[in-house]
A and B are shown apart, each in its own frame.
Chain A
Amino acid sequence: MSEKQHALIFELSEPGRVSYSLPDLDVPEQSIGELVPTNYVREEPPDLPEVSELQLMRHYTSLSNRNHGVDSGFYPLGSCTMKYNPKVHEDVARLPGFAHIHPYQPVSTVQGALELMYELQNSLAEITGMDEVTLQSAAGAQGEWTGLMLIRAFHEANGDFQRTKVIVPDSAHGTNPASATVAGFDAVTVKSNDRGLVDLDHLKEVVGNDTAALMLTNPNTLGLFEEEIVEMAKVVHEAGGKLYYDGANSNAILGITRPGDMGFDVVHLNLHKTFTTPHGGGGPGSGPVGVKEELARFLPVPTVVKEEGYYRFNRESERPDSIGRIKPYYGNFGINVRAYTYIRTMGAEGLRKVSENAVLNANYMMRRLAPYFDAPYEQHCKHEFVLSGRKQKKLGVRTLDIAKRLLDFGYHPPTIYFPLNVDECMMVEPTETETKETLDAFIDAMIQIAKEAEEEPETVQEAPHETVLGRLDETTAARKPVLRYQKS
């Protein structure tokens, strides 16, 4: 598509073309003006495109060719767990018995769906070491907010209204403090120490009788396991606070350790990360929330219960202390079908191997890349690791340049400039589904880029060279926003 501007579908439009087919109306037709008051009848039809079916397919096929997914090539985007999305999941989720069932059908007509949800609730509770799970949250961020609302309800039920603060590490994902805010808390930052772990002494300083919760990913966003987790849990619990586990990094811990055993009270999981449901270009995800027994009565309604072999939703009267509804219907069911299918594929042993191989791959890459980039932390990493580009920065090559240069090799770059506490950060997460050959090829590309930074920095600084477009002007995009197509 280098020859000319890639057309928008609106620019392909030609009046009179269609790409749909409906039968002729088989009931007597009345004018709309007779059915609704005339001032409610649309005057100008929405200007949607008018294209033929082949035009439509070519348009979207050509767009897909301008997009990089896991199936296109390596995608080591740290913290996002871009692992392989099994194809059989797509098949089963499209079975009519899952895809074409209505949320208000009588539960007697959807027992298969409820059984699946019930079994998935139980499996996720077992994997996380929690007592009860809700499948309602649509994504990780909604799971975080739900979990914090549960903690708030718990404290308030105890008459404890002064717990207004949620502690988050400086390395936390941006959703953590944002979720704290929208759940009505103030976010307080706890520092990391020079080993990349939460500074326990600082935690002791910031914790107090105003602490509602500590939010933590473990392993943390640097890919490092919080070794002092038991001590941290004790500090927070003794102060009357709760521990929240952000499951973004649970790909490192399946069958290895469980948040519930580490002392966490509330957990969310990102099924679109650890449990292989496709990222979809940005969603949909699913963010189930698990809790310990003492928080279960606050869970959003409804969850699935089983009674004498029959599945049903619990009634609101059975959960009088529920925080209420957080999402219509029953969560992203279609996504939950895929996660259930994955768990049934892997079983307990398979899931443990997932984490073992994810961690093996990450450590292998980190050790091989350490001579060329700064690896700021000594210890073994878990499923991901960070590198700093500060050595290259001195040569005038920024981490952004390295990322753009990787595009020329056909790779999606790592997450960059995050976490915020590492200068020129690159966060690499290979996942367990990649072969050693793929890891080696990526490592070779990174080594070549490190050499280019020394010998011919402009090759890196001016990258990418091979993509359909060069670097895009994001400043103008934000200053003079053009957010929709307008006919010229």
Chain B
Amino acid sequence: MNYRYLPTTDRDQQKMLDEIGVEQVEDLFADIPAGVRYKEDLQLPPSLSEPELVKHLQGLAKRNIDTNDYVSFLGAGVYEHYIPSVVNHVISRSEFYTAYTPYQPEISQGELQAIFEFQTMICELTGMEVANSSMYDGSTALAEAAMMSVGQTKKNTVLVSESVHPEALQVLKTVAKGQNVEVKTVSIANGTTDLNDLKEKYDDDTACVLVQHPNFFGHLEDLEAVEKVVHEKKSLFVVSSNPLSLGVLQPPGHFGADVVVGDVQPFGIPSQYGGPHCGYFAVAKKFMRKVPGRLVGQTKDENGKRGFVLTLQAREQHIRRDKATSNICSNQALNALAASVAMSALGKKGVQDMANQNIQKAHYAKNRLNEAGFSTVYEQPFFNEFVVDVKKTVAEVNEELLKRGMLGGFDLGSIDQKRENQMLIAVTELRTKEEIDRFVDGLEEIV
């Protein structure tokens, strides 16, 4: 059997064994106790040639319905957006994707500069002063923001709105348990954070308040009102935000957020069944030295030329070890690069244009649905998602939509049985008027 990734020939092997001074490769494993030496063949499926392999993978892929072939109204944290063709061309440059963390800046300026540019773009979008090089995803970024707040304030409770993404809330609870931090949830009133419940639960032990804006239901939160409560006792104000919405919405930094997190998946990253995506993490300057993960900074080389390096590394696990407040090491660098390229391609004009198309088309869809007799569950300002009562269970409706070549919106009944008729509908710039009309017509027929 030949293996195209293994270049060592028998002749090479013999020369190398001679140099080492052993007779056979097996001798190099003599230090493994016989009792734990694995002698059989692993029970794995047989090795495939490249044509067989491609055929096999194509076969698996074909058994999935994809959003290129079906018209999708699914969102709930993961969105189908326009991905400029340049994105894939840039991230396919193997100088980028076959490198690792830029530990040697002299031969990693490409990656370092690209991250520095990413950090700048995130600051621009969020209205914050400092952004890191990436986190795993929006949910773990939110959990890290909570833990950073605990470390910063020495208070041990985090208050989180129930209108954040339910999976982000679950991740937060798991992470908080690890660090023995208490998580208290703030209830929802009319589709947004209940300010009265927030005020009631807010106390001296509150390290931070976490809200999502636009929230899980697509609605804008009253950031002004929340901010006033949060800063009463010097807690941190953490806002999770879809970065695309910030093309038209006032950035959280404007409302006094201390930390802004989220996922840049809407910029150039395909849904790919939920990952890899790419979290971002931005803070006010005073928290610069508390930020988890890697930061790239500008400096000069010995000849005075501008260059970039990993910096403020004293925060990180490889220096602080058990004193570190985050253990993140590998992050989502290539996805951050994809997002940078997408943000560069869209540019100042395109990010506003695309965000505007989202908000316009989503409102068109909402109005059409209302006209067709489907009521919106909440009357709240929203960006590109909203909740509609589809009169039957969403599960039933989606099954019917599928037959019509459409993927219906997220079934809120899957997280709360009382909501089994509520569909969270996402409308992005990729949905045409004709598709939206077809969706509304389809719903009318089904119900």
Instruction: Known contacts A328-B165, A367-B19; decide if A350 and B1 are in contact (CB<8 Å).
Output: yes
Q: Does A457 contact B (CB under 8 A)?
A: no
B44 contacts which of A9, A39, A41, A348 (Cβ < 8 Å)? A348
Is B286 among interface residues, defined by CB-CB distance under 8 A? no
Q: Which segment, of A17-25, A199-207, A235-243, faces chain B? A: A17-25
Chain A CB within 8 A of B43 CB: yes
Distance between Cα atoms of A346 and B307 in the complex (Å): 41
> What residues of A have a CB within 8 angstroms of the CB of B154 in the complex?
none
Judge whether B76 and A37 touch: CB under 8 Å.
no
For the complex, give the distance between the alpha carbons of A348 and B140 in Å. Answer: 35
Extra pairs beyond A63-B109, A285-B330 (20, CB < 8 Å): A19-B350, A27-B360, A32-B248, A66-B110, A69-B96, A72-B95, A98-B273, A229-B33, A258-B36, A278-B97, A283-B333, A327-B275, A332-B276, A345-B5, A360-B28, A432-B6, A432-B8, A469-B305, A474-B299, A483-B297
Q: Closest residue to A224 on the B side, CB-wise? A: B31
Q: Flag if A279 contacts B99 (CB, 8 Å).
A: yes
Bound complex: CA A111 to CA B59 (Å):
11
The 10 listed contacts between A and B (C-beta, < 8 Å) are A35-B359, A64-B110, A66-B113, A110-B65, A115-B63, A283-B330, A327-B136, A335-B276, A348-B41, A412-B107
Q: Which residue of A lies closest to B119 (CB)?
A: A484
Q: Is the CB of A328 within 8 A of B348?
A: no
B345 in contact with A347 (CB, 8 Å): no
B56 touches A63 (CB 8 A): no
User: B187 contacts the other chain (Cβ, under 8 Å)?
Assistant: no
Name the interface residues of A9-57: CB closer than 8 Å to any CB of B. 9-10, 13, 15, 17-23, 25-30, 32, 35-37, 39-43, 45-51, 53, 56-57
Instruction: Assess the B54–A92 pair: CB atoms within 8 A.
Output: yes
Question: Does residue B200 face the partner (Cβ distance < 8 Å to A)?
Answer: no
Provide the residues of chain B in CB contact with A18, threshold 8 Å: 347, 349-350
Chain A positions within 8 Å of B133 at CB level? 282
Assess whether B101 is in contact with A476, with CB atoms less than 8 Å apart.
Answer: no
Shortest CB-to-CB span from B26 to chain A, Å, is: 8
Q: Report the separation of the CA atoms of residues A382 and B313 in the bound assembly, to the nearest whole angstrom.
A: 30
With A101-B273, A110-B65, A347-B44 given, is the CB distance from A90 to B347 under 8 Å? no
Smallest Cβ distance from A299 to chain B, in angstroms?
12
Chain A residue with Cβ nearest B134: A283
Closest to A337 in B: B57
Q: Does B418 contact A (CB under 8 A)?
A: no
Distance to closest chain B CB from A275 (angstroms):
12
Closest Cβ–Cβ distance, residue B267 to chain A (whole Å): 10
| A103 with B107, Cβ < 8 A, contacts A41-B248, A48-B344, A284-B334 known | no
Set B42, B100, B171: member contacting A255, Cβ < 8 A: B42
Q: Is the CB of B344 within 8 A of A282?
A: no
Residue on B nearest A174 in the bound complex, by CB: B318
Residues of A within 8 A of B312 (CB): 478, 481
Query: Would A281 and B19 be within 8 Å (CB), given that A51-B344, A142-B136, A230-B36 are in contact?
Result: no
B298/A36 in contact, CB under 8 A: no
Given A109-B65, A112-B59; A40-B249 close (CB under 8 Å): yes
B196 within 8 A of A: no
Chain B 339-352 per-residue mask, 1 if CB under 8 angstroms from chain A, else 0: 00101111111111
B interface footprint on A81-101 (CB within 8 Å = 1, 0 otherwise):
011111010111111111111
B260 lies within 8 A of chain A by Cβ: no
A179–B94 Cα gap in the complex (Å)? 31
Q: Determine if B324 and A348 form an interchain contact, defined as CB atoms under 8 angstroms apart.
A: no
Contacts of B88 in A (CB 8 A): 94
Contact between A482 and B270 (Cβ–Cβ < 8 Å)?
no
Q: Give the distance in Å from the alpha carbon of A40 to the alpha carbon of B433 in the complex.
A: 26
- Judged by a CB distance under 8 angstroms, whether B201 is at the interface is no
B182 touches A (CB below 8 Å): no
Provide the bound-state CA to CA distance between A484 and B410, in Å. 37
Contacts of A261 in B (CB 8 A): 36, 38
Say how far B28's CB is from chain A's closest CB, in angstroms.
Answer: 5
- Identify B140's interface contact among A23, A285, A327, CB under 8 A: A327
Which residue in A91, A115, A257, A473 is a CB contact (below 8 Å) of B302? A473
Q: Which residues of A contact B62 (CB under 8 A)?
A: 97, 112
* Identity of the chain B residue whose Cβ is nearest the Cβ of A111 in the assembled complex: B63
Q: A288-296, A351-359, A391-399, A446-454: which lies at the B interface?
A: A351-359
Return the CB mask of B1-33 against A: 1 if under 8 Å, else 0.
101011110001101110111100101111111
Does residue B385 face the partner (Cβ distance < 8 Å to A)? no
A265-293 Cβ-contact flags toward B at 8 Å (1 or 0): 00000101000101111111110000000
Partner among B30, B137, B327, B359 whose Cβ is within 8 Å of the Cβ of A328? B137
Contact A174 B317 (CB under 8 A): yes
- Residue on B with the closest CB to A227? B31
Residues of A close to B348: CB separation below 8 A: 13, 15, 45-50
Determine the residue in chain B with the shortest Cβ distance to A284: B276
Q: Is B121 an interface residue (CB 8 A)?
A: yes
Q: Which residues of chain A are near B209, meaning CB under 8 Å? A: none
Within 8 A of A (CB), among B182-220: 220
* Chain B residue at minimum C-beta to C-beta distance from A433: B5
Flag if B246 contacts A349 (CB, 8 Å).
no
B275 with A138: CB separation less than 8 A: yes
Q: How far is the CA of A356 from the CA of B3 in the complex (A)?
A: 13
Does A77 belong to the interface (CB within 8 Å)? Answer: yes
Q: Select one of A149, A177, A183, A272 contacting B330, CB under 8 A.
A: A272
Size of interface on B: residues with Cβ below 8 Å to A: 207
Identity of the chain B residue whose Cβ is nearest the Cβ of A173 in the assembled complex? B318
Q: A56-B345, A280-B334, A407-B104 are in contact. Are A141 and B317 (CB under 8 A)?
A: yes
Give the shortest distance, in Å, between B116 (CB) and chain A (any CB).
Answer: 7
Looking across the interface, which residue of chain A has its beta carbon closest to that of B300?
Answer: A473
B373 in contact (CB, < 8 A): no
A306 within 8 Å of B (CB atoms): no
Flag if A40 contacts B381 (CB, 8 Å): yes
**Binary CB contact string for chain A from 345 to 383 against chain B (1 if under 8 A, 0 otherwise):** 111111111101101110110011000000000011010
Chain B CB within 8 A of A333 CB:
yes
By Cβ-Cβ distance, the 9 closest A-B pairs, closest first, are A329-B274, A97-B61, A347-B47, A112-B63, A280-B334, A67-B110, A282-B333, A103-B274, A69-B98
**If the complex has contacts A63-B109, A102-B78, are A345 and B297 also in contact, measured as CB distance less than 8 A?**
no
Q: Check B77 for interface membership: any CB of A closer than 8 A.
A: yes
Say yes or no: A116 contacts B60, CB within 8 Å. yes
Query: In this complex, which of B25, B77, B98, B432 has the most chain A Cβ atoms within 10 angstroms of its Cβ?
Result: B98
Smallest Cβ-Cβ distance to B311: which chain A residue = A477
Interface flag for A488 (CB, 8 Å): no
User: Roughly how many angstroms separate A325 CA and B172 CA in the complex, as a whole number?
Assistant: 9
Q: Which residue of A lies closest to B16 (CB)?
A: A364
Q: Is the CB of B107 within 8 A of A407?
A: yes
Q: Bound state CA distance, A367 and B19, in angstroms?
A: 7
**Residues of A with C-beta under 8 A to B429:** 22
**Contact in complex: B101, A281 (CB < 8 Å):** yes
Stretch of B173-181, B230-238, B438-446 at the chain-chain interface: B173-181
In the complex, whether B372 has a CB less than 8 A from a CB of chain A is no
Given A20-B84, A48-B346: A281 and B337 interface contact (C-beta under 8 Å) = yes
Of A35, A149, A351, A476, the residue contacting B178 (CB under 8 A) is A149
**B130 contacts partner chain A, Cβ-Cβ < 8 Å:** yes
Which residues in B have their C-beta under 8 angstroms from that of A326? 171, 174-175
Which of A276, A331, A347 has the most chain B CB atoms inside 10 A of its CB? A347
Interface code B153-182, partner A: CB below 8 Å = 1, 0 otherwise? 000000000000101101101110111100
Contact A281 to B111, CB < 8 A, known contacts A36-B381, A61-B93, A256-B29: yes
The CA of A83 and the CA of B140, in the complex, are separated in Å by 29
Q: Which residues of A have CB within 8 Å of B273?
A: 98, 101-103, 110, 113, 329-330, 333-334
Asked if B417 lies at the interface with its beta carbon under 8 angstroms from chain A, I say: no
Q: Is B66 an interface residue (CB 8 A)?
A: yes
Q: Once the chains are docked, how many angstroms separate the CA of A223 from the CA of B53?
A: 33
Closest beta carbon of chain B to A65's beta carbon, Å: 7
CB distance from B290 to the nearest CB of A (A): 13
Residues of B with C-beta under 8 A to A321: none
Question: What chain A residues lie within 8 Å of B375 (beta carbons)?
Answer: none
